[in-house]
A and B are shown apart, each in its own frame.
Chain A
Amino acid sequence: MKLVVAIIKPFKLDEVRQALTAIGVSGMTVTEVKGYGRQKGHTEIYRGAEYVVNFLPKLRIEIAVASNLADKAVEVITSSARTGQIGDGKIFVTPIDHALRIRTGETDSDAL
C-alpha cells in the first residue's frame, strides 16, 4: 500500500478528483495549506504598508492506494493538475505499514 501525497493548485481539485475516481480511487483527504517552491509570493499593500506574502494557498491531497495502483494514480494526478505554469505543485509517494477501516475493522487492502 502506498500513501500518495499531492500538493496542487486549489482550483485543480475537481479535475484531480474526477481523474482519480475514473481509475478506481474512491476516497481522499484534502487539506488547505500554504506553501512555496520556485513560485515567488506576491505583495499586498494596506494603506501604504507593504507586506511580501511568501506563502501561497495550495491544497494537499492524500490518497491511500494499493501498491500496483500508485504509479497510475501519480500519472493521472500529474496530468489533471498540470497547468504548465510555475507553482503546479509536487507529488510524494510513501509506503503505508498498516491500514484499517474504523467502522468494520477491515485491514490493509480491504481497508482501501
Chain B
Amino acid sequence: MGALSCRAARLAATINLAAISSFATPAFAETSEISAADTAWMIVATALVLMMTIPGLALFYSGMVRKKNVLATMAQSLAAVTIISILWVAFGYSLAFVGDGPWLGTLDRWFLAGMTMDGVNSAAKTIPESLFMLYQMTFAIITVALVAGSVADRMRFSAYLLFSIGWFMFVYVPLAHWVWGGGFLGAVGVLDFAGGLVVHLSAGIGGLVAAKMIGRRHGYGTENLSPFDLSLAVMGTGLLWVGWFGFNGGSALGANSRAVMAIIATHLAACAGALTWGGIEWTIRRKPSVLGMISGAVAGLGTITPASGFVAPWHGIVIGVIAGLVCFWACTWLKHRFRYDDSLDVFGVHGIGGMTGILLAGVFATASIGGTSGLIEGNPQQLLIQLYGIAVTLLWSGGVTYVLLKLVSAFVPLRVSREHELEGLDISQHGEALQ
C-alpha cells in the first residue's frame, strides 16, 4: 500500500506540472535519426498486432465458447480495442513511456500534448514517437482483451468494461513502465523482449484470479460446454500466428536482422508447440486434436515472446517443445486438480507460458543476438533477475486484479444472473443471436 500512496502523490504532482507546462517543448526532439525503413516496418508491425486482437483473438476465443455466447465474446475484444485505444492516447502512453521514474512516467503527453511530427521517444529513436505510441497501444489492447478469456460465458458486460478500464490503468500501464518504459524492472536487467511479463503473465494471473473470484460456469463438470465452432478458432490462430510476426518482430523496433531472428524463433516455437501438443494427444489419447494443435501453437508463441529477441533462432524449437509440454500439463492436470474454471485457458497458456518463457529467456539469452548472456553462456545470475520479474508481476497483477474486482462488484455484479447465463450472453447482454 505504500507504493500506491507514493504513486498517488506523484500523480498529483505530475498533474499540477502538466497543467502548467502542457505546451512546453517536448523532451525528445532528435529528428535526424528517423529511418524510413524502420518506420515502414513498424507501421506494418502495428497493423499486424492490431489484427491479432481484431479479428485474431476475437475468432480464437469465440470459436471455443458456446453458440449463445459467441457475439458477446467478440464484443469483449471489440470493447478492448475501442476503449483502450482512447485511454492510451489520453494518459496510458504518457504514464508508461514518457519520463523515467522507477514507478511511473509523467503526464507530459496527456492526449499526446507536445508530440511533434518528427520527435522520437528515447526508447525507439529511429521511428517517429507517434508510431512508437501507436505500436505500444496495440500491445495494451491485446493484453486487456486476453484477460476476458478466463471469465468467458459468464461475466456481465458492464462489469467487464469497468474492470478492463481499471486493469489497464493500474496493472498494464505501471507494468509496461516498469519493464519497458524506464522503470525499475528494466533498470535491474529483466529480459522481456515483447511481453512475457507485461502481456502474457499479467493477463494470465489476472485471468486466474478473476476466474476464481467469479466462479465456475453453470454446468461446469456436468454439462456439455463444448466449443461452438473450432474452425473459427483455427482461423483466429492463423491470424494470431501471422500477427505475432509483428508482435515479436516489431519489438526490435526496427527493420533489422534482430527483428528477423526474433520472427524465426517465434515461428519455430509455434510449429514446435503445435507438434508437441498434438504429439502428446496422439500418444495419450490416440488422436491429435485440432484444438490441441492450435493450443500448442499459441502456447509456443506466448512462451517465445519474452525470449524471441534474445535467443538464437533455433532455440525457438526447444522453447516451443517445452511450451507444448508445460502448457498442456497446465491446461489439463493443473486446471482440474485445483478446480478453477479458466474457460479459455488464459492462465494455462499465457500465464504459464509467459512465466516459462521469461525463465527460458534467462536460460538461452545469447549475447551476439540481444546483448545479454543467459545461463547457457555462463550467466546464471540472469535467471534470478527473471524470477524477480515474475514475482513482481504475479503479485502486482494478481493483487490489483483482486482489489479491482472487489471494487467493481460493489457497484455492479460481476456475473450475469443464472437465467441470463443459461439464456446466453448474446441475448441477455447484447440483444442479439446467431441464427
Contact = CB atoms under 8 A, between A and B. Distances in A.
B224 A51 contact: yes
A51 B333 CA distance: 16
Contact of A48 (B64, B225, B226, B332): B332
B345 interface: yes
Nearest to A43: B285
A53 B345 CA distance: 23
Contacts of A106: none
A27 B95 CA distance: 71
Contacts of B225: 49, 51
Nearest to B341: A49
A15 B333 CA distance: 47
From A44, A48, A49, A53, residue with most partner B Cβ within 10 Å: A48
B325 interface: no
B224 A47 contact: no
**Interface of B, helix, strand, loop or mixed by DSSP:** helix
Kindly state the interface size class of chain B when it binds its partner: 10 to 19
Nearest to B285: A45
Interface in A33-77: 44-49, 51, 53
A81 B64 CA distance: 35
A47 B226 contact: no
Interface string B24-43: 00000000000000000000
Contacts of A48: 331-333, 335-336
Given A51-B225, A51-B226, A45 B331 contact: no
Interface stretch (B256-264, B287-295, B398-406): B287-295
B142 to A, nearest CB: 21
Contact of B292 (A44, A47, A49, A53): A47
A47 B332 CA distance: 6
B227 interface: yes
B289 A45 contact: yes
B285 A47 contact: no
Interface string A87-111: 0000000000000000000000000
Contacts of A46: 64, 226-227, 289, 291
Nearest to B224: A51
Contact of A44 (B226, B295, B333): B226
Q: Which of A44, A47, A53 counts the most B-chain CB atoms under 10 A from its CB?
A: A47
Contacts of B285: 45
A48 B336 CA distance: 8
Contacts of B336: 48
A48 B332 CA distance: 5
Nearest to B349: A47
A107 B115 CA distance: 80
Contacts of B224: 51, 53
Nearest to B345: A47
Given A47-B291, A47-B295, 20 more contacts: A44-B226, A45-B285, A45-B289, A46-B64, A46-B226, A46-B227, A46-B289, A46-B291, A47-B292, A47-B331, A47-B332, A47-B345, A47-B348, A48-B332, A48-B335, A49-B225, A51-B225, A51-B226, A53-B224, A53-B226
Pairs of residues from A and B, 6 with the lowest C-beta to C-beta distance, nearest first: A48-B332, A51-B224, A47-B331, A51-B226, A46-B291, A46-B226
16 contacts: A45-B285, A45-B289, A46-B64, A46-B226, A46-B289, A47-B331, A47-B332, A47-B345, A47-B348, A48-B331, A48-B335, A48-B336, A51-B224, A51-B225, A51-B226, A53-B224
